Amino acid sequence: MSSQSSSARARLLQERHLIGGPEEERFERIVRLAARLIGAPVAHLNVLDDSTTWTKAAVGSEQKQLPVGETFCQRVIETQQAVVIEDLRTDTQFRDYALVTEKPHFRFYAGEPLSIGDEVVGTLCVLDTVPRQLTPDQRELLRELASWAQSEVDNAGLNELVGALQDRESRLATLLDAVPEAVLLVDEKFRLTPTNPAGRTLLPSGTSALRDVFPLLSPDAPPFLERRGEGGAARLPVETTLCTPDQRVPVEVSVAPLGLSRAPWRWLVLVRDLSDLAQADAALRRERRLTSLILDSTTDGIVGSTTDGTVFLANRAATAMLTCRSGDLVGHSFQEVARPAADEQGQMTLSRRDGSRFPVELATTPIQVGEEVVGSVDTFRDVSQRLEMDRLKDEFVGVVSHELRTPLTSIKGALGLLSSGAFGDFAPEQAQLIDLARSNADRLGFLVDDILDLDRLDAGRMPLNAENVDVVELARQSVDSLDGAARAAGVTLQLLDEAGAADVSADPMRLVQALCNLIGNAIKFSEVGDTVVVRVSRDDAVSAGSVTVAVTDSGPGISQDQQRAVFDRFHQVNPADRGSRKGSGLGLSVAKGIVERSGGQLWLRSTKGQGSTFGVTLPALTTPRGREAT
């Protein structure tokens, strides 16, 4: 007996679960029969691994396990055949064994081999305490019983196999239940049978003809299956449409040949429902269609280009304005097709296909993905019509201004002549009425002037003849020109020069106009006896430096929520307080427009009840006097 054979035996016994475990009923019946039929007091069914003789069933003995070297069965294993020892005391090997020399004092042993495959792994044996012989019938009986036992041992393997198969099947069933794909079996007649829940959901009516299920495949369905099957590939999916009685479902189908010789099934078909994917795809397509509809519905031209300038998108308005087809733009350079260039007036223009040019508003914006610039979008709008409208409006404003100014000039002139005394003196009430008419004519004149100024500021057409001017000097001019008005209102004007050199670049006439509007406002909102302070200062904290003219009154102040509105057109602060403080409501808007066009800022600081400060801050041109000296 080789050790190799011994471990092979042990392994076989382990696999069949024959070592350890309870005694088995199926073997007990055999040993009982053996004892009775042979007429022996003891019978065993033993299996032997490398070291131990295990008793699977016994009659007339309590023995459960013994070292192999103490049992007689070892000879059956060694000889691989039946063994009969008529008197153990005469056997040179066994006569000194405890089982012989001590209780139960065995004298007789007969054992038949039991095997797994070719390997003898155990015995069916009978023992007696007296020496004896077995008749041929008894030997035949023992052999029959052994072959019964052998079949039980073999069955033990079969049971194991069945158990293993059952395990595997239930694992497979769990798997089949869990997979989202419908698993279908196809037979030779191209009938589909669902094998899992997903399959039964797909084919609620059970086995169905391939043609009915895949009508789109049907003309060449069997070849399709053959073709798919040939490669033996597990997955060569095709997308198609599955027809159920109520719906058509987009699916992905994979086919694998089964290669079973006897079963009717020839192919395994996996069907994956693509509805969700299809829906997402449809949603994406819908969104794209919507986006392109929006792009094509806008009246602005939109052209998308990659970083190298190649157009990848052009909407309908773009091609319509440029009088070209989409293909003339897409794949080409926007610069080369539309040739954007400014005309003599600085107006941006684009070129049509025929070479004619039209004025546009053109904006180019980078397309960014995160930090990276991946292209650009050119957006443009034909402004021919708007420019024409602007021209007409200018004309209209020009005409209106002339038409308004002319009668006003006459009214003011006539009243001025009357009150000049050239035509004699008037009674006090007559003089009062003439003054009333004059001041209102003046107001109307200011209003017309302000409207014209605002219109020009809006259009960017207010001519500003910028030159280097000393703000202190301009502030003085403004104060001087309003001195009369201030005195009439009982208000003192005070000019504080804290700036030293305060040169800025501005149109002196317009800057004086803006300052006069601010000072005039301050006077309007002051009480008799108040002082309006005009302070010119310089701030060199910022790099280039700036000059500020601040006009401070001690009037009623402006509440926080009204502060933004004061620059609105025709806005009158606190109308209830207006009384005689009549203005056009445009002065601040005009001042703001002039200051901003000059590159400066008009600001307001005020607290209700504590007066207001309106300030003009402009970029300074020179370093302050005194700085140079130090």
Identify the H or E element spanning 343: none
Q: Which is nearer to other proteins, 423 or 528 (CB)?
A: 423
For the bound state, the minimum distance from the C-beta of residue 627 to other proteins, rounded and expressed in Å, comes to 36
Residue window 436-455: x/- pattern of binding to other proteins, with contact defined by CB under 8 A:
---------x------x---
Nearest to 493 by CA among 444, 434, 573, 554: 554
For the bound state, the minimum distance from the C-beta of residue 590 to other proteins, rounded and expressed in Å, comes to 15
Are 589 and 453 contacting, i.e. CB atoms less than 8 angstroms apart? no
H helical segments located in 124-274? 136-178, 197-202, 210-213, 221-230
Read off the tokens for 608. 């209700």
Q: Which of 402, 488, 560, 579 binds other proteins (CB under 8 A)?
A: 402
Nearest to 269 by CA among 176, 183, 204: 183
Q: Which is nearer to other proteins, 430 or 492 (CB)?
A: 430
Q: Which is nearer to other proteins, 411 or 495 (CB)?
A: 411
The interface region with other proteins, picked from 206-214, 218-226, 379-387, 409-417 by CB under 8 A, is 409-417
Q: How many angstroms separate the Cα of 213 from the Cα of each of 61, 177, 226, 243?
A: 69, 21, 17, 5
Q: Which is nearer to other proteins, 313 or 408 (CB)?
A: 408
Give the Cα separation of 13 and 54 in Å (integer).
11
Does position 21 bind other proteins by CB under 8 A?
no
For the bound state, the minimum distance from the C-beta of residue 452 to other proteins, rounded and expressed in Å, comes to 8
Does position 409 bind other proteins by CB under 8 A?
yes
Neighbours of 493 (CB within 10 A): 21
Q: Which is nearer to other proteins, 411 or 496 (CB)?
A: 411
CA angle 88, 91, 97 (to 5 degrees): 65
Report the Cα–Cα distance between both ends of the chain, in Å, rounded: 118
Q: Does the bond joining 104 to the residue before it have cis omega, within 30 degrees of 0? A: yes
For the bound state, the minimum distance from the C-beta of residue 488 to other proteins, rounded and expressed in Å, comes to 18
Residue window 454-493: x/- pattern of binding to other proteins, with contact defined by CB under 8 A:
---------x-x----------------------------
Q: Which is nearer to other proteins, 131 or 413 (CB)?
A: 413
Q: Which of 67, 416, 490, 599 binds other proteins (CB under 8 A)?
A: 416
Give the Cα separation of 530 and 523 in Å (integer).
9
Q: Which is nearer to other proteins, 278 or 397 (CB)?
A: 397
CA angle 430, 431, 435 (to 5 degrees): 120
Q: Which residues of 197-223 are buried (b: 16+ CB within 10 A; e: fewer)?
A: ebbeebbeeeebebeebbeebbeebee
Does position 223 bind other proteins by CB under 8 A?
no
Q: Which is nearer to other proteins, 405 or 476 (CB)?
A: 405
The interface region with other proteins, picked from 364-372, 411-419, 428-436, 600-608 by CB under 8 A, is 411-419
Neighbours of 403 (CB within 10 A): 10
Does position 408 bind other proteins by CB under 8 A?
yes
Read off the tokens for 526. 């002051």
Q: Which is nearer to other proteins, 355 or 423 (CB)?
A: 423
Give the Cα separation of 619 and 600 in Å (integer).
7
The interface region with other proteins, picked from 82-90, 314-322, 408-416, 470-478 by CB under 8 A, is 408-416
Q: Which of 233, 392, 417, 459 binds other proteins (CB under 8 A)?
A: 417
Give the Cα separation of 95 and 496 in Å (integer).
141
For the bound state, the minimum distance from the C-beta of residue 410 to other proteins, rounded and expressed in Å, comes to 4
The number of residues that bind other proteins (CB under 8 A) is 19
Among positions 92-121, residues that touch other proteins (CB under 8 A) are none
Are 35 and 128 contacting, i.e. CB atoms less than 8 angstroms apart? no
The interface region with other proteins, picked from 282-290, 358-366, 398-406, 491-499 by CB under 8 A, is 398-406
Q: Which residues contact 49 (CB under 8 A, 6 or more apart)?
A: 6, 9, 10, 13, 19, 68
Does position 414 bind other proteins by CB under 8 A?
yes
Q: Token match 């007091």: residue?
A: 41
Q: Which is nearer to other proteins, 453 or 503 (CB)?
A: 453
Residue window 293-332: x/- pattern of binding to other proteins, with contact defined by CB under 8 A:
----------------------------------------
For the bound state, the minimum distance from the C-beta of residue 413 to other proteins, rounded and expressed in Å, comes to 4
Output phi, psi for 519, to 5 deg: -70, -40
Q: Which of 207, 410, 430, 607 binds other proteins (CB under 8 A)?
A: 410
Q: Which is nearer to other proteins, 262 or 402 (CB)?
A: 402
Give the Cα separation of 455 and 462 in Å (integer).
8
Q: Taking each helix axis from N to C terminus, what angle separates 428-458 and 587-597, rounded to the nearest 10 degrees?
A: 40
Q: Which is nearer to other proteins, 422 or 427 (CB)?
A: 422
Report CA Rg, the chain.
Answer: 57
The interface region with other proteins, picked from 67-75, 166-174, 318-326, 415-423 by CB under 8 A, is 415-423
Give the Cα separation of 380 and 340 in Å (integer).
10
Give the Cα separation of 494 and 594 in Å (integer).
24
The interface region with other proteins, picked from 194-202, 249-257, 417-425, 622-630 by CB under 8 A, is 417-425
Among positions 418-437, residues that touch other proteins (CB under 8 A) are 420, 422-423
The interface region with other proteins, picked from 48-56, 109-117, 303-311, 413-421 by CB under 8 A, is 413-421
Are 151 and 29 contacting, i.e. CB atoms less than 8 angstroms apart? no
Does position 345 bind other proteins by CB under 8 A?
no
Q: Which is nearer to other proteins, 435 or 540 (CB)?
A: 435
Q: Would you list the DSSP string of 499-526?
A: -SS-EEEE-HHHHHHHHHHHHHHHHHTP
Q: Which is nearer to other proteins, 179 or 411 (CB)?
A: 411
Q: Which is nearer to other proteins, 20 or 413 (CB)?
A: 413
Residue type, 34: A
Site residues (vs other proteins, CB under 8 A): 402, 405-410, 412-414, 416-417, 420, 422-423, 445, 452, 463, 465
